[in-house]
Amino acid sequence: MKTTLLSLCALCALCACAPVAAPAAWAPGETVTFYVPADPGGGLDTLAHALSPLLTAEAGLRADVRNRPGGWRGQAAGTVEFTARFARRDDVLLVASTPLVMNHARVQSPGPEDLRPLALLGEDYGLIAVSAASPYDSLDELLAALKNDPAAVRFCGGGAAGAWVHLNAALLARTAGADPAALPYTALADTGAAVEELHCGAADALTADIASLRPWLQTGELRLLGVSAPARLTEDAALRDTPTYREQGLDLVLSNWRGVFAGLKMSAAAQIYWENLLAELCAAEEWRAALAAEDIYPVYAGAADFAARLRAETALYEDVFRLLPEEQAPLISAAPGC
């Protein structure tokens, strides 16, 4: 009995010291699918098509792009379908953007915890601008007027109430101590219409993302008061002189990101494969050029960091949607360009 017990102890010790077996290596077949919960021709669709030739060059894979437009339900409809149909697929990836989190925060449609985040690919940021003739020379002056009288500063933007461009202004107001629900906001068809609204005096300030406002950044028509980026965009000639919100004492960083997700039950081996491959693709100069063509800043984060960020963003959007009236918190299709 003593000998048997010693033998068992020795065996247990050997097992405890043995390395844990890694998941068996996995690779997809010749064709994989990018599932895009948006219309063909939009920003997400363009991004998925830009990834396709890189997959071919780097891994010899052919990528099909499958669009699932959601109509008034936006990205939520496509995300519901993806989570229901492709949770166990190792060869189907979801390409999504910030509205995935916004819709989840608003109506508990499928969110980051119902998926496996694989990689953050890039970001766009928010801007606050006024006309060149505006009496507001700084963000501090604009927000001081807003806090003194919420109705005194009329915002406009090329997106619906509750869309990302609206929340760029609403979250800024909340961070400054003003009531985001009292913020006067006019939703217009696109950023060009919002610029016209500003010029004709029907609005005092404009909220937009960089990509959609790019044509007006160096025309002299606008005064840029702040950008929601985490640091000064010194490499961007049109924005290197625009201070961030943080630089002006406002603890707010906001972006419209683009990322890749897998189904929740993707195999561990496939997840490792895709994380490694996406990291390689995001380091390629061809990918950076593709992002630049869409006015997206190349910001990469791996699965763990991306997941942590998504949790923080979910809490941020849940907080602001609780403060906004029902009509300002609809399902979101996409930020401009998505």
The token pair that represents 219 in the structure block: 């025309």
Does residue 266 carry a pLDDT above 70? yes
Does residue 6 carry a pLDDT above 90? no
Does residue 7 carry a pLDDT above 50? no
* DSSP type of residue 265: T
Task: Tell me, yes or no, if the two domains 32-123+256-328 and 125-248 fold the same way.
Answer: yes
Where in the chain does DSSP place strands (E)?
31-36, 62-67, 92-97, 115-131, 155-157, 185-187, 205-209, 222-227, 255-263
Better-scored residue on pLDDT, 4 or 106: 106
pLDDT tens, residue by residue, 271-305 = 999 999 999 999 999 999 999 999 999 999 999 99
CA distance 179 to 200: 26
For the domain made up of 125-248, the CATH class stated in words is alpha beta
The residue extents of the domains of the chain are 32-123+256-328, 125-248
Where in 191-232 does DSSP place strands (E)?
205-209, 222-227
Q: Which CATH topology does 32-123+256-328 take?
A: D-Maltodextrin-Binding Protein; domain 2 (3.40.190)
What is the pTM for the complete model shown? Answer: 0.87
